[in-house]
Structure 1
Amino acid sequence: MDELDLLKKDWNRKEEQEKLSAKDILPMLHKKSSSIVKLLFYISIAELFFWIIVNTIPFFVSDSYRERLNMVYSDNALIVLNIFTYSVIFLFIYLLYNSYKSISVTDSAKQLMKSILNTRKIIKYYVLYNLIMVGISMIFGLYFSFHNDPNAAKLLEEMDSKGIFILVAVSILATAVFIVVIWLFYKLIYGLLLKRLNKNYKEIQKLEV
């Protein structure tokens, strides 16, 4: 056997090893990706219950909190806000569940990549929505407080232009800090899992080349 035949034999052996490696790696990446999305789904459910508890317990336990809430917000505004907020959370959970099911049933590398990309988009838009809603909620909360709460309205009337400026500046700063805290929370919870999902996506891309 000459050198050319030996080279061809060695090349064929390497190709077989690469094919076997890809065949073995893809199911592992499939299983890991499915587990990550499943965990994201469970976290979203836990987050739903967390916000329900946070919003519900003080309302029923504290009379002063309930009275202040009713004073600041009208009943209809509060109901609409809660319905909208929880509808978005339920929609997010539903989309994540569909993404998990999609990954669970697919055997195609391209379809797995598509499902991972879809999951990343869902998380990205959900986090963005929550950050925007935090800012809007705090702005509307302050607005309703100074218009519907007699004590807050009286305080605003007694302020001069400098006092109002300081109040606005502090409110903006507090809103910004709260948004950053929420962003860090989501980056810690969802960001770590998304990083692992992105790693799987890059590995699948290599197998597709």
Structure 2
Amino acid sequence: MDELDLLKKDWKKQDAEHKKLSVTDIYPMLHKKSSSIVKTLLYISIAELLFWILVNTIPYIVSDSYRSKLETMYANTGLFTALTIFSYAVILLFIYLLFKAYKSISVTDNAKRLMESILKTRKIIKYYVLYNLIMAGISLIIGFYFTFTNDPKVMSKISHFNDKQMLFLYGFMFITITIFVAIIWLFYKLIYGWLLKRLNRNYKELKKLEV
């Protein structure tokens, strides 16, 4: 049991007169914890941005065959570049919004404003996770489409498929996309979800102090 939990336990035992004093002790800890959680979320988002830059850039630079395959698949439409730039722009926007949320939580000295900042941070995270899940599904669909329409090797293999085989192929694509999106959701659930639970716990404690 940490210091904050001990303070809350003692606070519940106290009478109304002494509770006011305890609130002034508990609030700074909730404030510090909330600020620390948002800072951690900010660092994770920056690490995620660097990770995706490396994942997308290193194979493209190092492997000539990978670069050639991408250029063949997307047939110089610029769609791959546009999607990549758009994805990075969204992550940068997310980092900026989290940074603003962190600064807002760090400087606030009012319980109500702190609660509002926590709610805003939760919304930012939820929208970001939802965006990533949708984009993961869309990106896979686009990737499959260009692979089947522009990759000569794949095109030659599926050109002789009958209706049953094509149905099986579409089913395989659907299962693959579902599993991939589920893995991403699980990743965000484990990391962002855990931090959001802690942030939500702080919000509930602040709400009790406001009563």
Q: Does 1:68 align with 2:69?
A: yes
- Report the residue type matching 1:123 in the other structure: I
Deviation at 1:153, TM superposition (A): 1.7
Distance 2:167 2:16 in 1: 71
1:57 aligns with 2:27: no
Q: Which amino acid aligns with 1:136?
A: I
* Counterpart residue number, 2:135: 133
- How far off is 1:16 after superposition? 2.3
Shift of residue 56, structure 1, vs aligned partner: 0.7
Cα separation, 2, equivalents of 1:16 and 1:35: 31
| Aligned twin of 1:17 | 18
Deviates more, 1:41-50 or 1:63-72: 63-72
Which segments of 5 or more consecutive residues in structure 1 lack a partner in the other structure? Answer: 1-12
Compare 42-51 and 61-70 and name the one that shifted more. Answer: 61-70
Task: For 1:66 and 1:205, locate their aligned partners in 2 and report how far apart those are by CA, in whole Å.
Answer: 54
The 3-state SS of whatever aligns with 1:185 is helix
Counterpart residue number, 1:80? 82
Q: Pick the structure with greater CA Rg.
A: 1
Alignment partner, residue 185 of structure 1: 187
Percent same amino acid at aligned positions?
62
Paired residues, number: 197
TM, length-normalised to structure 1: 0.92
- Which residue matches 2:33? 32
Q: Distance in 1 between matches of 2:60 and 2:128?
A: 26
Task: Confirm whether residue 110 of structure 1 aligns to residue 118 of structure 2.
Answer: no
Please provide the CA RMSD for this pair: 1.0
Alignment partners' CA distance in 2, 1:17 and 1:177: 54
What's the CA shift for 1:146?
1.1
Q: TM-score, normalised by structure 2?
A: 0.91
Deviations 1:163-192 (A, max 9, x none): 100000001001000011000001111111
In structure 2, distance between residues paired with 1:79 and 1:157? 28
Q: Secondary structure at the match of 2:109?
A: coil
Q: Tell me how far apart the structure 2 counterparts of residues 173 and 98 of structure 1 sit (CA, whole Å).
A: 38
